[in-house]
Amino acid sequence: MPSYPLHFYFTKTATLSYSITLDRTYFLVNNSIIKFKYRENVKTFEPLYYEDIEVGDEWTSPGRTITEADIVNFAGLSGDFNQLHMDEEFGKKTIFGRRIAHGLLGLAIAGGLSTRTPPLHVVAFLGIKEWNFKAPIFIGDTVVLKNKVIEKRLTSKGDRGIVTFEKKLLNQRNEVLQEGKTITMIAVKNK
């Protein structure tokens, strides 16, 4: 197999810990299978189609550390200024012993992390089948999302796929903070 120079373009916060070649088209990067597109000697990561994923496929996102700014910004966006999130002295008197992040902030971060685990040709996010808050998220926690395909089917016209994912938001101690199932419509190749 010929050797090609690879050029990676990432945002400031993204990291590439390792990659190995699975074949000429798919690569394993940070535990995620990424389809690689060869075009005019330019290599670019390309999102996966419905046919590229199978029931049982699982990916883990890169980590993301929860900050004070995340909580303050989410309070401003959502209007939820509950003392549990905003008042450190109040938080010390709770069962958690300190402030906690908004549960919906965790869900929003899980949604963002899922766009990279793996990148998909998404047509529409169809809904949340269920979502459970299992443990608090604290400032300084580093979270990852485990994303697993548990069901897939074609639409009646066969031009789109419906995929159900099981998602788990984990902290640095591998504790499940939130988990649930979501449904996404994904593009089919050549339709």
Binning pLDDT at 50, 70 and 90, where does residue 45 land?
A: low
What is the tens place of the pLDDT at every residue in 97-114? 999 999 999 999 999 999
Domain coordinates of the chain in residue numbers? 1-46, 58-187
Query: Which amino acid makes up residue 165?
Result: F
Take residue 99 and report the two structure tokens written for it. Answer: 């402030």
Binning pLDDT at 50, 70 and 90, where does residue 116 land?
A: confident
Distance, in Å, from the CA atom of 174 to the CA atom of 46, rounded to the nearest integer, reads 29
- Given a contact cutoff of 8 angstroms between Cβ atoms, the answer to whether 124 and 158 are in contact is no
Residue 47 exposed, middle or buried by CB count within 10 Å (0-12, 13-18, 19+):
middle
Q: What is the predicted pLDDT for the residue at 157?
A: 93
Average pLDDT over residues 66-74: 97
CB under 8 Å to 54, separation ≥6 — which residues? Answer: 149, 152
Average pLDDT over residues 106-135: 95
Q: What is the predicted pLDDT for the residue at 13?
A: 36
Q: What is the predicted pLDDT for the residue at 1?
A: 41
What is the domain class of 58-187 according to CATH?
alpha beta
% of the chain beyond a pLDDT of 70: 76
